[in-house]
Amino acid sequence: MNDSRPAEPVLLVAHEANGVVCVTLNRPGQRNALSEALLRTLKSTLADLAADPAVRVLIVAGTGPAFCAGHDLRELRALPDEEAARGLFELCGEVMLALRRFPHPVIAQVHGVATAAGCQLVASCDLAIACDHARFATPGVNIGLFCSTPAVALTRNVAYKHAMQMLLTGDVIDAETAQRIGLVNSVVPTGDLETHTRELASQIASRPPAVLTLGKAAVQAQLGLDEAAAYADMGAVMARNLLMAEAAEGIDAFLAKRPPHW
């Protein structure tokens, strides 16, 4: 008898308290490998959430035993030609850029493994909290496929020599090492991962969203500038920020020794 049950969605979206939204990769049987369907769904969902005025902080998580094991290798092997492969990797790059350009802070909640494009996903988020059993790697070199696109995000998060050791050896690093080299912000006991992530998200969500949006965009923009140009641009950003109602209220509250009312 045919099973007529609807297929599980590849991405779960939960609107939580205080403007926190959690998007959860939902291919647990494939360790949340980034299929084309999942990438397209994630891209469209990020666009929708970016336009939603109620959103303040985004969490990226995964179901099952892993955060994300990278691209779906069976799908990669089935691609008919170089043009199709290029299209898939371009789609993945668009998703990673959408996270970098998302107007609000993005936190990766990492458990299990985050490998190849899964490690790229972690590196593309603004912050990352890992549980103590999380593991990270860019192991493409072990199967003859250098992690070139994950290298884009990885080398923008950690020092060159750390990144190259991961890329050239394919070795797995533990959560503590990932924290030491700057790939994740903190490591917490497995049972505390969700609680700790939500606490951080709630803390950030309590800050004025217009200021966070301005600040994240400005930080991203100055990364490609030389130091003098970066100071010039960021000085202009601070001048605009100073004239915002949120800054006026925050400074007045500080001087009056009272909590700000945003």
What CATH number is attached to the domain comprising 217? 1.10.12.10
193 and 119 inside one domain:
yes
Amino acid type, 65:
P
55 within some domain: yes
117 and 237 inside one domain:
no
Q: How far apart are CA 145 and CA 106, in angstroms?
A: 29
184 and 165 inside one domain:
yes
146 and 238 inside one domain:
no
Per-residue b or e along 169-189, where b marks 16 or more CB atoms closer than 10 Å to that residue's CB: ebeebebebbbebebbbebbe
Over residues 147-168, the mean pLDDT reads 97
Per-residue confidence band for 16, with pLDDT thresholds at 50, 70 and 90: very high
Please tell me the predicted confidence (pLDDT) of residue 1. Answer: 46
What CATH number is attached to the domain comprising 67? 3.90.226.10
Number of compact structural domains in the chain: 2
Q: How far apart are CA 216 and CA 112, in angstroms?
A: 28
What six digits make up the tokens of 73?
């290798």
226 and 147 inside one domain:
no
198 and 220 inside one domain:
no
Domain span at residue 216 reads: 209-255
Q: Residue 128: which H helix or E strand, with range? A: strand 127-131
Over residues 104-129, the mean pLDDT reads 98
Average pLDDT of the chain is 96
Please tell me the predicted confidence (pLDDT) of residue 5. Answer: 60
221 and 126 inside one domain:
no
How many other C-beta atoms lie within 10 A of the C-beta of residue 99?
Answer: 20
List, for residues 27-65, the tens digit of each pLDDT value: 999 999 999 999 999 999 999 999 999 999 999 999 999
136 and 20 inside one domain:
yes
- In eight-state DSSP terms, residue 256 is T
78 and 183 inside one domain:
yes
127 within some domain: yes
Over residues 173-184, the mean pLDDT reads 98
83 and 159 inside one domain:
yes
234 within some domain: yes
115 and 237 inside one domain:
no
